[in-house]
Structure 1
């Protein structure tokens, strides 16, 4: 097994362990580790040595979750798949912030429906507080990461 295949399998396993289904995890690992920036479904299937049908479901999952972008081929025949331009992880994290906003709002609505002082309400209040905290921390982390990335790019252009 060559280095690319080993890297894809290792990263794919980590992504799978974190909750991404196996084939989408492998496809995402492949588009991160392989040198090209755009792939047809056939190229993904060939690179991973899997069937085109397996790729179809995987790229559907990856596009729906925002991990991969689908675009039309210049020839108009078929689609190309690529990771988000530039800051893939920062983009993914920022895209998750509205999900946390939704959790906080929904939990607040649920809290309001329960009796004050009840055990269930207390658990929901703590859950809401946690997601509110996580959302603020993720937003702050995204800002700090952007500053870090920008600073690192500026430092490397000076050398």
Structure 2
């Protein structure tokens, strides 16, 4: 297997990585097919593949690719693009996919906070259920602030490591290289 940038790859090693990382994502709660598609996109140099390429690499049907991409797009983990001059779609994973996924979760947390406030008002703050909801609300408010602060630190750290926007970082080996 040779990637777009001319780097020779051992197809078996790439496949092992994709399946191993996908298994880790599944353990963390991601459905299996979206996890495999996401891992395959991450493992491609360009970070972009067509449905046919994903089907071939993962030996899955185009319908399985479509469902996985639909899920990943809803989670803001991949985006869909049209190939120039073609009706074919390409699916792209960006360097900031983790930021986008966390930001999406932050919006969900804010909706949960609103629902919890309604529950507290309905049940009464001083009831046992109201107390549980208040504690849950306080936790989500804490998480929301921590994620926001953490993402600011991440952007600064990313800039230090990769410069620019980090979309195409220089080749590195290991986490601290």
TM-score strictly above 0.5? yes
- How far off its partner does 1:116 sit? 3.6
- Once the two structures are overlaid, the 10-residue window that deviates more, 95-104 or 41-50, is 95-104
Structure 1 runs of 4+ off > 3 angstroms?
none
The counterpart of 1:103, out of the listed 112, 136, 139, is 112
> Is 1:130 matched up with 2:130?
no
Which residue in the other structure is 2:54 paired with? 44
Which residue in the other structure is 1:21 paired with? 31
Q: For 1:132 and 1:82, locate their aligned partners in 2 and report how far apart those are by CA, in whole Å.
A: 32
What secondary structure sits across from 2:60 in the alignment? coil
Which residue in the other structure is 2:174 paired with? none
What secondary structure sits across from 1:76 in the alignment? coil
What secondary structure sits across from 2:126 in the alignment? coil
Q: For 2:124 and 2:69, locate their aligned partners in 1 and report how far apart those are by CA, in whole Å.
A: 45
Q: Structure 2 unaligned segments of length 5 or more: list them.
A: 1-10, 164-168, 171-177
Which residue in the other structure is 2:86 paired with? 76
- How far off its partner does 1:37 sit? 2.6
Normalization by structure 2: what TM-score? 0.81
Is the Cα contact below 8 Å between 2:76 and 2:97 reproduced in 1?
Answer: no
Q: Structure 1 unaligned segments of length 5 or more: list them.
A: none
Normalization by structure 1: what TM-score? 0.90
Cα deviation code 1:31-61 (max 9, x no counterpart): 0112233211011000111111211111111
Which residue in the other structure is 2:64 paired with? 54
- Once the two structures are overlaid, the 10-residue window that deviates more, 109-118 or 127-136, is 109-118
What secondary structure sits across from 2:158 in the alignment? helix
Cα deviation code 1:76-103 (max 9, x no counterpart): 312110013x322123222322111111
> Is 1:119 matched up with 2:128?
yes
Q: For 2:45 and 2:159, locate their aligned partners in 1 and report how far apart those are by CA, in whole Å.
A: 23
